[in-house]
Amino acid sequence: MSNESKVKIALAVNGESTEVAFAPHKTLLEVLREDLGLTGTKHGCELGECGTCTVLLDATPVLSCLVLGLACAGRNVRTVEAMATGGKLHPLQETFADLGAAQCGYCTPAFLLTAEALLAANPTPTRDEIKNALAGNLCRCTGYIKIYEAVELAAARMRGEKAEASRESLYGR
């Protein structure tokens, strides 16, 4: 309620220490979007069903709609807003943009962060490992294929390989 007293916590958001006060029932999703102005994190159900609100909590993907803001005191939260640094896109953002892995773009921040966590743990994932890692994230636009290809291409580049998108994925057969 509007007159409910707020609680204040300290946490690190995108590498910066911050304090934020909010009603104690609020989820991390709501704290990020409503109290910290980080609207890059989206929501599709607010029930933990679609993965759209995924952020990294201490480098692990979590559904921010199922995590209480209060539970994040003293922890590190990473959102899509921090992926591009120094005015340059993250390699995953580059490949998502180039391959059309983002169509409407609504589920994209969640896919990017889930993929980033996957590549941190496994720099050389197979297609099946990518599918398994992304199985909790729904996308209604792409059919996922361009997303797999973007993750694979970014993984190769992050390993230092000179990789380009395949001709078939850009021009068909």
Near other proteins by CB under 8 A: residue from 13, 27, 31, 42: 42
Which tokens go with 20? 């934020």
- Of 6-14, 56-64, 102-110, 155-163, which segment contacts other proteins by CB under 8 A? 102-110
Helices (H), the chain: 28-30, 91-99, 108-121, 127-134, 145-158, 167-171
Q: Do 44 and 138 contact (CB within 8 A), yes or no?
A: yes
Distance CA 149, CA 131 (A): 11
Residue 21 touching other proteins (CB under 8 A): no
Distance CA 68, CA 83 (A): 23
Which tokens go with 96? 């998502």
Please name which of 127, 140, 41, 46 lies closest in space to residue 81, comparing C-alpha atoms.
41
**# residues near other proteins by CB under 8 A:** 62
Distance CA 131, CA 44 (A): 20
Please identify, using beta-carbon distances, which residue of 8 and 88 lies nearer to other proteins.
88
Residue 122 touching other proteins (CB under 8 A): no
- Of 31-39, 70-78, 117-125, 155-163, which segment contacts other proteins by CB under 8 A? 31-39
Near other proteins by CB under 8 A: residue from 7, 66, 75, 103: 103
60 to 99: interface string for other proteins, x by CB under 8 A: -------------------xxx-xx----x---x--xxxx
Residues interacting with other proteins, by CB under 8 A? 1-3, 33-34, 39-47, 49-50, 52, 79-81, 83-84, 89, 93, 96-100, 102-109, 112, 130-132, 134-146, 148, 165, 168-173
